[in-house]
Structure 1
Protein backbone atom coordinates (compact mmCIF):
# COMPACT_ATOMS: atom_id res chain seq x y z
CA UNK A 1 0.00 0.00 0.00
CA UNK A 2 1.30 3.43 -0.92
CA UNK A 3 1.00 5.81 2.12
CA UNK A 4 1.69 8.93 0.05
CA UNK A 5 -1.98 9.76 -0.82
CA UNK A 6 -2.96 9.50 2.85
CA UNK A 7 -0.04 11.71 3.85
CA UNK A 8 -1.05 14.32 1.26
CA UNK A 9 -4.62 14.23 2.52
CA UNK A 10 -3.48 14.87 6.09
CA UNK A 11 -1.32 17.77 4.92
CA UNK A 12 -4.25 19.24 2.99
CA UNK A 13 -6.49 18.97 6.04
CA UNK A 14 -3.87 20.62 8.23
CA UNK A 15 -3.47 23.43 5.70
CA UNK A 16 -7.23 23.96 5.54
CA UNK A 17 -7.47 23.92 9.36
CA UNK A 18 -4.67 26.48 9.49
CA UNK A 19 -6.51 28.69 7.01
CA UNK A 20 -9.72 28.53 9.08
CA UNK A 21 -7.94 29.33 12.36
CA UNK A 22 -5.98 32.17 10.74
CA UNK A 23 -9.26 33.51 9.35
CA UNK A 24 -10.83 33.54 12.82
CA UNK A 25 -7.81 35.25 14.36
CA UNK A 26 -7.64 37.87 11.61
CA UNK A 27 -11.40 38.50 11.76
CA UNK A 28 -11.23 39.11 15.51
CA UNK A 29 -8.41 41.61 15.11
CA UNK A 30 -10.19 43.37 12.25
CA UNK A 31 -13.48 43.56 14.14
CA UNK A 32 -11.91 45.42 17.09
CA UNK A 33 -10.74 48.18 14.76
CA UNK A 34 -13.69 48.27 12.36
CA UNK A 35 -16.42 48.36 15.03
CA UNK A 36 -15.09 51.72 16.23
CA UNK A 37 -15.45 53.11 12.71
CA UNK A 38 -18.98 51.69 12.58
CA UNK A 39 -19.92 53.36 15.87
CA UNK A 40 -18.61 56.73 14.72
CA UNK A 41 -20.45 56.53 11.41
CA UNK A 42 -23.65 55.36 13.04
CA UNK A 43 -23.80 58.35 15.38
CA UNK A 44 -22.08 61.12 13.42
CA UNK A 45 -22.42 59.95 9.78
CA UNK A 46 -18.68 60.53 9.36
CA UNK A 47 -16.60 58.06 7.37
CA UNK A 48 -13.46 58.68 9.42
CA UNK A 49 -10.39 58.32 7.19
CA UNK A 50 -8.14 59.04 10.19
CA UNK A 51 -9.31 55.88 11.97
CA UNK A 52 -6.23 53.97 10.81
CA UNK A 53 -3.98 56.53 12.46
CA UNK A 54 -5.92 56.15 15.73
CA UNK A 55 -5.00 52.47 15.49
CA UNK A 56 -1.34 53.38 14.96
CA UNK A 57 -1.29 55.80 17.89
CA UNK A 58 -2.72 53.09 20.13
CA UNK A 59 0.08 50.76 19.01
CA UNK A 60 2.77 53.36 19.72
CA UNK A 61 1.30 54.17 23.12
CA UNK A 62 1.20 50.45 23.89
CA UNK A 63 4.87 49.79 23.07
CA UNK A 64 5.83 52.89 25.04
CA UNK A 65 4.04 51.78 28.21
CA UNK A 66 5.07 48.14 27.75
CA UNK A 67 8.70 49.19 27.44
CA UNK A 68 8.42 51.10 30.71
CA UNK A 69 6.55 48.21 32.38
CA UNK A 70 9.14 45.56 31.56
CA UNK A 71 12.03 47.94 32.28
CA UNK A 72 10.76 48.15 35.88
CA UNK A 73 10.84 44.36 36.20
CA UNK A 74 7.09 44.21 36.84
CA UNK A 75 5.09 40.97 36.36
CA UNK A 76 4.71 40.06 32.65
CA UNK A 77 1.07 39.06 33.19
CA UNK A 78 0.32 42.72 33.94
CA UNK A 79 1.02 43.58 30.31
CA UNK A 80 -2.66 43.02 29.40
CA UNK A 81 -3.97 45.79 31.71
CA UNK A 82 -1.10 47.99 30.52
CA UNK A 83 -2.25 47.64 26.90
CA UNK A 84 -5.84 48.42 27.89
CA UNK A 85 -4.67 51.55 29.72
CA UNK A 86 -2.58 52.54 26.68
CA UNK A 87 -5.67 52.26 24.47
CA UNK A 88 -7.79 54.30 26.89
CA UNK A 89 -5.18 57.06 27.09
CA UNK A 90 -4.46 57.20 23.37
CA UNK A 91 -8.08 56.90 22.24
CA UNK A 92 -9.42 59.45 24.71
CA UNK A 93 -6.79 62.07 23.96
CA UNK A 94 -6.84 61.77 20.17
CA UNK A 95 -10.64 61.41 20.09
CA UNK A 96 -11.24 64.55 22.14
CA UNK A 97 -8.62 66.59 20.28
CA UNK A 98 -9.94 65.63 16.84
CA UNK A 99 -13.65 65.93 17.62
CA UNK A 100 -13.56 69.03 19.80
CA UNK A 101 -10.67 70.68 18.00
CA UNK A 102 -11.73 70.08 14.39
CA UNK A 103 -14.83 68.08 13.54
CA UNK A 104 -17.33 70.04 15.62
CA UNK A 105 -16.73 73.04 13.37
CA UNK A 106 -17.93 71.00 10.38
CA UNK A 107 -21.18 69.73 11.88
CA UNK A 108 -23.93 69.55 9.26
CA UNK A 109 -21.55 69.94 6.33
CA UNK A 110 -21.66 67.76 3.24
CA UNK A 111 -20.34 64.20 3.85
CA UNK A 112 -17.72 64.72 1.14
CA UNK A 113 -16.34 67.71 3.04
CA UNK A 114 -16.14 65.63 6.22
CA UNK A 115 -14.41 62.84 4.30
CA UNK A 116 -11.79 65.29 3.02
CA UNK A 117 -11.34 66.80 6.48
CA UNK A 118 -10.71 63.40 8.08
CA UNK A 119 -8.31 62.54 5.25
CA UNK A 120 -6.39 65.75 5.97
CA UNK A 121 -6.34 64.79 9.66
CA UNK A 122 -5.01 61.38 8.68
CA UNK A 123 -2.06 62.98 6.85
CA UNK A 124 -1.40 65.43 9.69
CA UNK A 125 -1.53 62.77 12.40
CA UNK A 126 0.83 60.51 10.44
CA UNK A 127 3.45 63.27 10.68
CA UNK A 128 2.63 63.94 14.33
CA UNK A 129 3.33 60.26 15.06
CA UNK A 130 6.75 60.60 13.40
CA UNK A 131 7.52 63.74 15.39
CA UNK A 132 6.67 62.05 18.71
CA UNK A 133 8.01 58.51 18.21
CA UNK A 134 10.47 58.98 15.34
CA UNK A 135 10.82 56.92 12.19
CA UNK A 136 12.60 53.89 13.64
CA UNK A 137 10.53 50.77 14.42
CA UNK A 138 9.50 50.00 18.00
CA UNK A 139 9.28 46.43 19.28
CA UNK A 140 7.68 45.07 22.48
CA UNK A 141 7.12 41.37 21.87
CA UNK A 142 7.37 40.23 25.52
CA UNK A 143 3.57 39.68 25.98
CA UNK A 144 3.50 37.22 23.08
CA UNK A 145 6.08 34.94 24.74
CA UNK A 146 4.76 35.46 28.26
CA UNK A 147 1.63 33.35 27.78
CA UNK A 148 3.26 30.46 25.92
CA UNK A 149 1.66 28.43 23.14
CA UNK A 150 -1.60 26.58 22.61
CA UNK A 151 -2.05 23.45 20.48
CA UNK A 152 -5.03 23.45 18.11
CA UNK A 153 -4.94 19.96 16.65
CA UNK A 154 -1.57 19.55 14.97
CA UNK A 155 -0.98 23.31 14.82
CA UNK A 156 0.74 25.53 17.39
CA UNK A 157 -0.29 29.14 18.02
CA UNK A 158 0.77 31.71 20.61
CA UNK A 159 -1.84 31.86 23.39
CA UNK A 160 -1.68 35.63 22.96
CA UNK A 161 -3.57 35.27 19.66
CA UNK A 162 -6.50 33.77 21.54
CA UNK A 163 -6.42 36.73 23.94
CA UNK A 164 -7.09 39.01 20.95
CA UNK A 165 -10.12 36.86 20.07
CA UNK A 166 -11.38 37.24 23.65
CA UNK A 167 -10.90 41.02 23.45
CA UNK A 168 -12.96 41.09 20.24
CA UNK A 169 -15.76 39.02 21.78
CA UNK A 170 -15.84 41.15 24.93
CA UNK A 171 -15.83 44.39 22.92
CA UNK A 172 -18.68 43.25 20.67
CA UNK A 173 -20.64 41.80 23.57
CA UNK A 174 -20.29 44.94 25.66
CA UNK A 175 -21.37 47.23 22.81
CA UNK A 176 -24.38 45.04 22.07
CA UNK A 177 -25.37 44.91 25.76
CA UNK A 178 -24.95 48.66 26.14
CA UNK A 179 -27.00 49.55 23.07
CA UNK A 180 -29.77 47.00 23.59
CA UNK A 181 -30.25 46.72 27.35
CA UNK A 182 -29.27 49.98 29.02
CA UNK A 183 -31.16 53.28 29.24
CA UNK A 184 -28.19 55.29 27.98
CA UNK A 185 -27.76 52.84 25.13
CA UNK A 186 -31.35 53.40 24.08
CA UNK A 187 -30.72 57.14 24.19
CA UNK A 188 -27.74 56.65 21.91
CA UNK A 189 -29.85 54.57 19.53
CA UNK A 190 -32.40 57.40 19.46
CA UNK A 191 -29.61 59.82 18.53
CA UNK A 192 -28.50 57.45 15.77
CA UNK A 193 -31.98 57.11 14.27
CA UNK A 194 -33.14 60.73 14.55
CA UNK A 195 -30.87 63.36 16.13
CA UNK A 196 -33.34 66.20 15.55
CA UNK A 197 -36.19 64.52 17.43
CA UNK A 198 -33.73 63.41 20.14
CA UNK A 199 -32.62 67.02 20.59
CA UNK A 200 -36.26 68.14 20.83
CA UNK A 201 -36.84 65.53 23.55
CA UNK A 202 -34.05 66.98 25.67
CA UNK A 203 -31.21 64.61 24.80
CA UNK A 204 -27.85 66.33 24.59
CA UNK A 205 -26.98 65.18 21.07
CA UNK A 206 -23.65 67.00 20.99
CA UNK A 207 -22.46 65.22 24.11
CA UNK A 208 -23.45 61.84 22.71
CA UNK A 209 -21.58 62.56 19.49
CA UNK A 210 -18.43 63.38 21.44
CA UNK A 211 -18.82 60.23 23.55
CA UNK A 212 -19.37 58.03 20.49
CA UNK A 213 -16.35 59.49 18.70
CA UNK A 214 -14.12 58.97 21.73
CA UNK A 215 -15.44 55.41 22.19
CA UNK A 216 -14.74 54.63 18.53
CA UNK A 217 -11.26 56.10 18.87
CA UNK A 218 -10.60 53.96 21.94
CA UNK A 219 -11.64 50.83 20.05
CA UNK A 220 -9.26 51.68 17.20
CA UNK A 221 -6.48 52.32 19.72
CA UNK A 222 -7.37 49.04 21.48
CA UNK A 223 -6.81 47.17 18.22
CA UNK A 224 -3.45 48.87 17.81
CA UNK A 225 -2.45 48.30 21.43
CA UNK A 226 -3.03 44.54 21.24
CA UNK A 227 -1.46 44.30 17.78
CA UNK A 228 1.74 46.07 18.86
CA UNK A 229 3.43 43.06 20.53
CA UNK A 230 2.95 40.93 17.39
CA UNK A 231 4.56 43.31 14.86
CA UNK A 232 7.24 45.91 14.42
CA UNK A 233 5.49 49.22 15.11
CA UNK A 234 6.61 51.66 12.43
CA UNK A 235 5.35 54.73 10.53
CA UNK A 236 2.71 53.94 7.94
CA UNK A 237 1.17 51.03 9.84
CA UNK A 238 -2.15 52.88 9.96
CA UNK A 239 -2.27 52.97 6.16
CA UNK A 240 -2.01 49.19 5.97
CA UNK A 241 -5.25 48.56 7.86
CA UNK A 242 -7.40 51.13 6.05
CA UNK A 243 -8.33 48.90 3.09
CA UNK A 244 -9.31 45.90 5.23
CA UNK A 245 -11.14 48.03 7.78
CA UNK A 246 -13.25 49.86 5.21
CA UNK A 247 -13.90 46.63 3.32
CA UNK A 248 -15.34 44.99 6.45
CA UNK A 249 -17.54 47.99 7.26
CA UNK A 250 -18.79 48.49 3.70
CA UNK A 251 -19.55 44.78 3.18
CA UNK A 252 -21.45 44.53 6.47
CA UNK A 253 -23.26 47.85 6.09
CA UNK A 254 -22.24 51.26 7.38
CA UNK A 255 -23.38 51.83 10.95
CA UNK A 256 -24.33 48.21 11.68
CA UNK A 257 -22.52 46.33 14.45
CA UNK A 258 -23.87 42.90 13.36
CA UNK A 259 -22.85 43.86 9.84
CA UNK A 260 -19.34 44.65 11.05
CA UNK A 261 -19.10 41.20 12.65
CA UNK A 262 -20.16 39.50 9.40
CA UNK A 263 -18.01 41.83 7.29
CA UNK A 264 -14.93 41.16 9.43
CA UNK A 265 -15.54 37.40 9.19
CA UNK A 266 -15.95 37.54 5.40
CA UNK A 267 -12.81 39.64 4.93
CA UNK A 268 -10.86 37.54 7.42
CA UNK A 269 -11.71 34.19 5.85
CA UNK A 270 -11.33 35.39 2.25
CA UNK A 271 -7.93 36.87 3.01
CA UNK A 272 -6.78 33.80 4.93
CA UNK A 273 -7.83 31.38 2.19
CA UNK A 274 -6.16 33.58 -0.41
CA UNK A 275 -2.91 33.73 1.60
CA UNK A 276 -2.86 29.95 2.04
CA UNK A 277 -3.94 28.88 -1.43
CA UNK A 278 -3.40 31.80 -3.82
CA UNK A 279 -1.21 34.51 -2.22
CA UNK A 280 -0.85 36.46 -5.45
CA UNK A 281 -4.48 37.63 -5.23
CA UNK A 282 -4.62 38.39 -1.49
CA UNK A 283 -5.63 42.06 -1.79
CA UNK A 284 -7.54 41.58 -5.04
CA UNK A 285 -9.74 38.93 -3.40
CA UNK A 286 -10.95 41.47 -0.84
CA UNK A 287 -11.84 43.99 -3.55
CA UNK A 288 -13.57 41.25 -5.54
CA UNK A 289 -15.78 40.20 -2.61
CA UNK A 290 -16.58 43.82 -1.81
CA UNK A 291 -17.54 44.48 -5.44
CA UNK A 292 -19.79 41.40 -5.56
CA UNK A 293 -21.58 42.32 -2.32
CA UNK A 294 -22.10 45.95 -3.34
CA UNK A 295 -23.33 44.94 -6.80
CA UNK A 296 -26.07 42.84 -5.21
CA UNK A 297 -26.73 45.04 -2.17
CA UNK A 298 -25.22 48.57 -2.46
CA UNK A 299 -26.04 49.50 1.15
CA UNK A 300 -24.22 46.46 2.54
CA UNK A 301 -25.52 43.20 3.98
CA UNK A 302 -27.05 44.53 7.20
CA UNK A 303 -27.84 48.16 6.47
CA UNK A 304 -31.29 49.31 5.45
CA UNK A 305 -31.95 51.84 2.76
CA UNK A 306 -31.21 55.28 4.12
CA UNK A 307 -34.09 57.70 3.82
CA UNK A 308 -33.26 61.23 2.76
CA UNK A 309 -35.08 64.08 4.49
CA UNK A 310 -36.54 66.77 2.24
Structure 2
Protein backbone atom coordinates (compact mmCIF):
# COMPACT_ATOMS: atom_id res chain seq x y z
CA UNK A 1 0.00 0.00 0.00
CA UNK A 2 2.87 2.35 0.75
CA UNK A 3 4.20 1.82 -2.78
CA UNK A 4 0.78 2.63 -4.26
CA UNK A 5 0.61 5.88 -2.29
CA UNK A 6 4.12 6.80 -3.43
CA UNK A 7 3.26 6.07 -7.08
CA UNK A 8 0.08 8.16 -6.94
CA UNK A 9 1.71 11.12 -5.21
CA UNK A 10 4.86 11.14 -7.36
CA UNK A 11 2.83 10.46 -10.51
CA UNK A 12 0.40 13.34 -10.05
CA UNK A 13 3.15 15.78 -9.02
CA UNK A 14 5.20 14.90 -12.10
CA UNK A 15 2.05 15.02 -14.25
CA UNK A 16 1.27 18.55 -13.00
CA UNK A 17 4.74 19.69 -14.06
CA UNK A 18 4.39 17.97 -17.45
CA UNK A 19 1.07 19.73 -18.03
CA UNK A 20 2.57 23.13 -17.21
CA UNK A 21 5.32 22.47 -19.76
CA UNK A 22 3.00 21.10 -22.46
CA UNK A 23 0.04 23.52 -22.12
CA UNK A 24 1.60 26.34 -24.14
CA UNK A 25 2.78 23.95 -26.84
CA UNK A 26 -0.69 22.48 -27.36
CA UNK A 27 -2.43 25.89 -27.32
CA UNK A 28 -0.19 27.16 -30.11
CA UNK A 29 -0.62 24.04 -32.21
CA UNK A 30 -4.37 23.92 -31.66
CA UNK A 31 -4.94 27.41 -33.06
CA UNK A 32 -1.99 28.03 -35.38
CA UNK A 33 -1.09 24.48 -36.49
CA UNK A 34 2.53 25.18 -35.61
CA UNK A 35 4.49 22.58 -33.66
CA UNK A 36 6.64 25.13 -31.86
CA UNK A 37 10.01 23.49 -31.19
CA UNK A 38 11.23 26.82 -29.76
CA UNK A 39 8.89 26.20 -26.81
CA UNK A 40 11.77 24.46 -25.02
CA UNK A 41 13.90 27.60 -25.25
CA UNK A 42 11.04 29.74 -23.94
CA UNK A 43 10.89 27.40 -20.95
CA UNK A 44 14.65 27.78 -20.46
CA UNK A 45 14.44 31.59 -20.77
CA UNK A 46 11.81 31.64 -18.02
CA UNK A 47 13.97 29.42 -15.81
CA UNK A 48 17.11 31.53 -16.31
CA UNK A 49 15.27 34.82 -15.76
CA UNK A 50 13.61 33.56 -12.57
CA UNK A 51 16.81 32.00 -11.19
CA UNK A 52 18.81 35.16 -11.88
CA UNK A 53 16.23 37.48 -10.30
CA UNK A 54 15.80 35.27 -7.24
CA UNK A 55 19.58 35.06 -6.85
CA UNK A 56 19.84 38.86 -6.83
CA UNK A 57 16.92 39.14 -4.40
CA UNK A 58 18.33 36.71 -1.84
CA UNK A 59 21.90 37.97 -2.28
CA UNK A 60 20.61 41.46 -1.42
CA UNK A 61 19.24 40.25 1.89
CA UNK A 62 15.67 39.49 0.85
CA UNK A 63 13.81 36.81 2.80
CA UNK A 64 10.09 37.25 2.14
CA UNK A 65 8.59 34.23 0.37
CA UNK A 66 5.70 36.18 -1.16
CA UNK A 67 8.17 38.67 -2.63
CA UNK A 68 10.24 35.84 -4.10
CA UNK A 69 7.13 34.43 -5.80
CA UNK A 70 6.17 37.88 -7.07
CA UNK A 71 9.65 38.31 -8.60
CA UNK A 72 9.56 34.81 -10.08
CA UNK A 73 6.14 35.30 -11.67
CA UNK A 74 6.93 38.80 -12.95
CA UNK A 75 10.18 37.74 -14.63
CA UNK A 76 8.63 34.67 -16.25
CA UNK A 77 5.56 36.56 -17.51
CA UNK A 78 7.63 39.45 -18.83
CA UNK A 79 10.26 37.42 -20.67
CA UNK A 80 7.61 35.05 -22.06
CA UNK A 81 5.44 37.84 -23.41
CA UNK A 82 8.36 39.78 -24.92
CA UNK A 83 9.98 36.69 -26.47
CA UNK A 84 6.66 35.47 -27.86
CA UNK A 85 5.89 38.84 -29.42
CA UNK A 86 9.35 39.13 -31.01
CA UNK A 87 9.30 35.59 -32.41
CA UNK A 88 5.78 35.86 -33.81
CA UNK A 89 6.08 39.36 -35.26
CA UNK A 90 9.70 39.08 -36.38
CA UNK A 91 9.81 35.56 -37.88
CA UNK A 92 6.64 33.47 -37.85
CA UNK A 93 4.38 36.15 -39.34
CA UNK A 94 6.51 36.04 -42.48
CA UNK A 95 5.97 32.28 -42.76
CA UNK A 96 2.18 31.93 -42.41
CA UNK A 97 0.59 29.79 -45.08
CA UNK A 98 3.71 27.70 -45.58
CA UNK A 99 3.94 23.95 -45.11
CA UNK A 100 3.79 22.69 -41.49
CA UNK A 101 7.10 20.87 -41.92
CA UNK A 102 8.79 24.12 -42.90
CA UNK A 103 7.34 25.83 -39.83
CA UNK A 104 8.70 22.99 -37.71
CA UNK A 105 12.17 23.51 -39.17
CA UNK A 106 11.96 27.28 -38.62
CA UNK A 107 10.99 26.91 -34.95
CA UNK A 108 13.73 24.32 -34.46
CA UNK A 109 16.22 26.86 -35.87
CA UNK A 110 14.88 29.42 -33.37
CA UNK A 111 15.45 26.85 -30.61
CA UNK A 112 19.10 26.43 -31.60
CA UNK A 113 19.65 30.18 -31.87
CA UNK A 114 18.10 30.87 -28.46
CA UNK A 115 20.17 28.11 -26.86
CA UNK A 116 23.35 29.92 -27.96
CA UNK A 117 21.95 33.32 -26.97
CA UNK A 118 21.33 32.01 -23.45
CA UNK A 119 24.90 30.73 -23.24
CA UNK A 120 26.16 34.20 -24.22
CA UNK A 121 23.93 35.92 -21.65
CA UNK A 122 24.19 33.52 -18.71
CA UNK A 123 27.27 31.44 -19.52
CA UNK A 124 27.53 27.74 -18.80
CA UNK A 125 27.66 27.91 -14.99
CA UNK A 126 24.59 26.37 -13.29
CA UNK A 127 22.14 28.75 -11.61
CA UNK A 128 20.39 27.75 -8.38
CA UNK A 129 17.26 29.28 -6.87
CA UNK A 130 16.46 26.73 -4.16
CA UNK A 131 15.30 29.13 -1.46
CA UNK A 132 11.53 29.14 -2.23
CA UNK A 133 11.54 25.34 -2.45
CA UNK A 134 13.20 25.02 0.96
CA UNK A 135 11.06 27.76 2.55
CA UNK A 136 7.79 25.90 1.83
CA UNK A 137 8.91 22.92 3.90
CA UNK A 138 7.41 19.43 3.87
CA UNK A 139 3.84 18.17 4.24
CA UNK A 140 2.99 14.79 5.75
CA UNK A 141 0.58 12.58 3.79
CA UNK A 142 -0.02 9.40 5.76
CA UNK A 143 3.51 8.06 6.36
CA UNK A 144 5.03 9.96 3.42
CA UNK A 145 6.35 13.51 3.35
CA UNK A 146 5.89 15.69 0.29
CA UNK A 147 7.44 19.04 -0.53
CA UNK A 148 5.04 21.93 -0.04
CA UNK A 149 6.43 23.47 -3.22
CA UNK A 150 5.46 20.38 -5.23
CA UNK A 151 1.91 20.58 -3.89
CA UNK A 152 1.82 24.24 -4.92
CA UNK A 153 2.90 23.27 -8.46
CA UNK A 154 0.12 20.68 -8.60
CA UNK A 155 -2.48 23.26 -7.53
CA UNK A 156 -1.13 25.85 -9.96
CA UNK A 157 -1.30 23.32 -12.80
CA UNK A 158 -4.97 22.64 -12.00
CA UNK A 159 -5.75 26.38 -11.91
CA UNK A 160 -4.01 27.01 -15.25
CA UNK A 161 -5.74 24.03 -16.85
CA UNK A 162 -9.19 25.19 -15.70
CA UNK A 163 -8.36 28.74 -16.74
CA UNK A 164 -7.42 27.65 -20.26
CA UNK A 165 -10.57 25.54 -20.54
CA UNK A 166 -12.75 28.45 -19.38
CA UNK A 167 -10.98 30.84 -21.77
CA UNK A 168 -11.50 28.58 -24.79
CA UNK A 169 -15.01 27.37 -23.95
CA UNK A 170 -16.73 30.24 -22.14
CA UNK A 171 -15.28 33.53 -23.42
CA UNK A 172 -15.90 35.50 -26.61
CA UNK A 173 -12.21 35.35 -27.56
CA UNK A 174 -12.20 31.60 -26.99
CA UNK A 175 -15.16 31.14 -29.32
CA UNK A 176 -13.35 33.11 -32.00
CA UNK A 177 -10.27 30.93 -31.55
CA UNK A 178 -12.38 27.78 -31.84
CA UNK A 179 -13.88 29.09 -35.07
CA UNK A 180 -10.34 29.62 -36.40
CA UNK A 181 -9.41 26.09 -35.38
CA UNK A 182 -12.38 24.62 -37.27
CA UNK A 183 -12.08 26.75 -40.42
CA UNK A 184 -9.52 29.52 -40.78
CA UNK A 185 -10.72 30.74 -44.20
CA UNK A 186 -14.38 31.06 -43.20
CA UNK A 187 -13.41 32.88 -39.99
CA UNK A 188 -11.40 35.39 -41.99
CA UNK A 189 -14.27 35.83 -44.44
CA UNK A 190 -16.57 36.60 -41.49
CA UNK A 191 -14.33 39.48 -40.46
CA UNK A 192 -12.09 37.83 -37.85
CA UNK A 193 -8.60 39.31 -37.73
CA UNK A 194 -6.84 35.95 -37.87
CA UNK A 195 -3.31 37.34 -37.71
CA UNK A 196 -4.12 39.35 -34.61
CA UNK A 197 -5.55 36.24 -32.97
CA UNK A 198 -2.40 34.33 -33.96
CA UNK A 199 -0.29 36.96 -32.19
CA UNK A 200 -2.41 36.74 -29.02
CA UNK A 201 -2.30 32.94 -29.08
CA UNK A 202 1.47 32.75 -29.58
CA UNK A 203 2.15 35.26 -26.80
CA UNK A 204 -0.08 33.27 -24.41
CA UNK A 205 1.58 29.98 -25.40
CA UNK A 206 5.07 31.45 -25.06
CA UNK A 207 4.20 32.98 -21.69
CA UNK A 208 2.92 29.62 -20.44
CA UNK A 209 6.22 28.04 -21.46
CA UNK A 210 8.25 30.72 -19.67
CA UNK A 211 6.05 30.46 -16.54
CA UNK A 212 6.63 26.69 -16.49
CA UNK A 213 10.38 27.36 -16.59
CA UNK A 214 10.16 29.98 -13.86
CA UNK A 215 8.14 27.67 -11.60
CA UNK A 216 10.64 24.86 -12.20
CA UNK A 217 13.74 26.97 -11.47
CA UNK A 218 13.66 26.43 -7.66
CA UNK A 219 13.45 22.65 -8.16
CA UNK A 220 16.39 22.11 -10.56
CA UNK A 221 19.79 23.47 -11.42
CA UNK A 222 19.32 25.75 -14.42
CA UNK A 223 21.94 24.74 -16.99
CA UNK A 224 22.33 24.91 -20.78
CA UNK A 225 20.32 22.28 -22.62
CA UNK A 226 17.29 22.07 -20.31
CA UNK A 227 15.09 23.46 -23.08
CA UNK A 228 15.96 20.61 -25.45
CA UNK A 229 15.24 18.00 -22.79
CA UNK A 230 11.89 19.57 -21.99
CA UNK A 231 10.63 19.88 -25.57
CA UNK A 232 11.07 16.13 -26.05
CA UNK A 233 8.98 15.38 -22.94
CA UNK A 234 6.36 17.98 -23.87
CA UNK A 235 6.12 16.50 -27.36
CA UNK A 236 5.54 13.02 -25.89
CA UNK A 237 2.74 14.37 -23.69
CA UNK A 238 0.86 16.33 -26.38
CA UNK A 239 1.18 13.52 -28.92
CA UNK A 240 -0.18 11.02 -26.39
CA UNK A 241 -3.13 13.24 -25.50
CA UNK A 242 -3.74 14.59 -28.99
CA UNK A 243 -2.12 17.62 -30.58
CA UNK A 244 -4.05 20.82 -29.95
CA UNK A 245 -6.27 19.50 -27.13
CA UNK A 246 -6.03 20.96 -23.61
CA UNK A 247 -7.99 18.01 -22.25
CA UNK A 248 -5.64 15.71 -24.14
CA UNK A 249 -2.58 17.44 -22.72
CA UNK A 250 -3.94 16.95 -19.19
CA UNK A 251 -4.80 13.29 -19.84
CA UNK A 252 -1.45 12.65 -21.52
CA UNK A 253 0.42 14.26 -18.62
CA UNK A 254 -1.43 12.11 -16.06
CA UNK A 255 -0.87 8.90 -18.01
CA UNK A 256 2.82 9.61 -18.59
CA UNK A 257 3.31 10.81 -15.00
CA UNK A 258 1.74 7.73 -13.44
CA UNK A 259 3.56 5.39 -15.84
CA UNK A 260 6.91 7.02 -14.98
CA UNK A 261 6.21 6.89 -11.24
CA UNK A 262 5.22 3.21 -11.51
CA UNK A 263 8.45 2.47 -13.35
CA UNK A 264 10.60 4.36 -10.81
CA UNK A 265 9.11 2.51 -7.84
CA UNK A 266 8.97 -0.95 -9.42
CA UNK A 267 11.35 -1.07 -12.42
CA UNK A 268 13.69 1.95 -12.23
CA UNK A 269 15.84 0.72 -15.12
CA UNK A 270 12.92 1.42 -17.49
CA UNK A 271 12.26 5.01 -16.36
CA UNK A 272 13.23 6.71 -19.63
CA UNK A 273 11.89 3.95 -21.85
CA UNK A 274 8.41 3.85 -20.29
CA UNK A 275 7.46 7.40 -21.34
CA UNK A 276 8.01 6.69 -25.03
CA UNK A 277 6.56 3.18 -24.72
CA UNK A 278 3.31 4.73 -23.47
CA UNK A 279 3.31 7.20 -26.35
CA UNK A 280 3.94 4.45 -28.91
CA UNK A 281 1.26 2.23 -27.36
CA UNK A 282 -1.36 4.98 -27.56
CA UNK A 283 -0.47 5.91 -31.14
CA UNK A 284 -0.79 2.30 -32.31
CA UNK A 285 -4.49 2.32 -31.42
CA UNK A 286 -5.17 6.07 -31.64
CA UNK A 287 -2.91 7.60 -34.34
CA UNK A 288 -4.18 11.11 -33.53
CA UNK A 289 -3.75 10.70 -29.76
CA UNK A 290 -6.41 10.10 -27.11
CA UNK A 291 -8.35 13.33 -27.77
CA UNK A 292 -6.93 14.29 -31.15
CA UNK A 293 -9.17 14.59 -34.20
CA UNK A 294 -8.28 13.78 -37.77
CA UNK A 295 -8.10 16.90 -39.96
CA UNK A 296 -9.80 16.64 -43.32
CA UNK A 297 -7.66 17.62 -46.29
CA UNK A 298 -9.03 20.41 -48.44
CA UNK A 299 -8.80 19.78 -52.17
Same fold, TM-score > 0.5, yes or no: yes
For the 8 Å contact 1:143–1:229, the answer to whether it is kept is yes
Q: How far apart are the structure 2 equivalents of 1:266 and 1:95?
A: 29
Match of 2:11 among 18, 23, 30: 23
For the 8 Å contact 1:148–1:158, the answer to whether it is kept is yes
Q: Which residue of 2 aligns with 1:118?
A: 107
Alignment of 1:140-179 (within 5 A): 140-179=129-168
Match of 1:139 among 122, 128, 138: 128
Match of 1:286 among 262, 275, 282: 275
For the 8 Å contact 1:70–1:76, the answer to whether it is kept is no
Q: Which residue of 2 aligns with 1:190?
A: 179
Q: What do residues 188-240 of structure 1 show as CA deviations (whole Å, max 9, x unaligned)?
A: 11122111111111111101101111101111111110100011100011122
Q: How far apart are the structure 1 equivalents of 2:246 and 2:150?
A: 23
Deviation of 1:16 after TM superposition, in Å, equals 2.5
Q: How far apart are the structure 1 equivalents of 2:231 and 2:174?
A: 28
SS of 2:29's partner is helix
Q: How far apart are the structure 1 equivalents of 2:77 and 2:13?
A: 23
Q: Which residue of 1 aligns with 2:77?
A: 88
Deviation of 1:64 after TM superposition, in Å, equals 1.4
Q: How far apart are the structure 1 equivalents of 2:203 and 2:272?
A: 30
For the 8 Å contact 1:66–1:79, the answer to whether it is kept is yes
SS of 2:217's partner is helix
TM-score if structure 2 supplies the norm length?
Answer: 0.97
Q: Which residue of 1 aligns with 2:27?
A: 39
For the 8 Å contact 1:77–1:146, the answer to whether it is kept is no
RMSD: 1.1
Alignment of 1:69-108 (within 5 A): 69-74=57-62, 75-108=64-97
SS of 2:140's partner is strand
Q: Which residue of 1 aligns with 2:240?
A: 251
Deviation of 1:15 after TM superposition, in Å, equals 2.5
TM-score if structure 1 supplies the norm length?
Answer: 0.94
Q: How far apart are the structure 2 equivalents of 1:68 and 1:189?
A: 42
Q: How far apart are the structure 2 equivalents of 1:170 and 1:18?
A: 24
Gaps of 5+ in 1: 1-12
For the 8 Å contact 1:25–1:161, the answer to whether it is kept is yes
Alignment of 1:267-282 (within 5 A): 267-282=256-271
Which aligned segments of 4 or more residues in structure 1 are displaced greater than 2 angstroms? 68-74
Give the number of equivalent residue pairs: 298
SS of 1:151's partner is strand
Deviation of 1:98 after TM superposition, in Å, equals 1.1
For the 8 Å contact 1:256–1:303, the answer to whether it is kept is yes
Deviation of 1:71 after TM superposition, in Å, equals 3.1
SS of 2:221's partner is coil
Deviation of 1:68 after TM superposition, in Å, equals 2.4
SS of 1:47's partner is coil
User: Given the alignment of the two structures, is residue 60 of structure 1 paired with residue 48 of structure 2, yes or no?
Assistant: yes
Deviation of 1:60 after TM superposition, in Å, equals 0.4
Larger Rg: 1
Q: What do residues 97-127 of structure 1 show as CA deviations (whole Å, max 9, x unaligned)?
A: 1111111111111111111111111111100
For the 8 Å contact 1:251–1:301, the answer to whether it is kept is yes
Deviation of 1:77 after TM superposition, in Å, equals 2.4
Deviation of 1:286 after TM superposition, in Å, equals 1.3
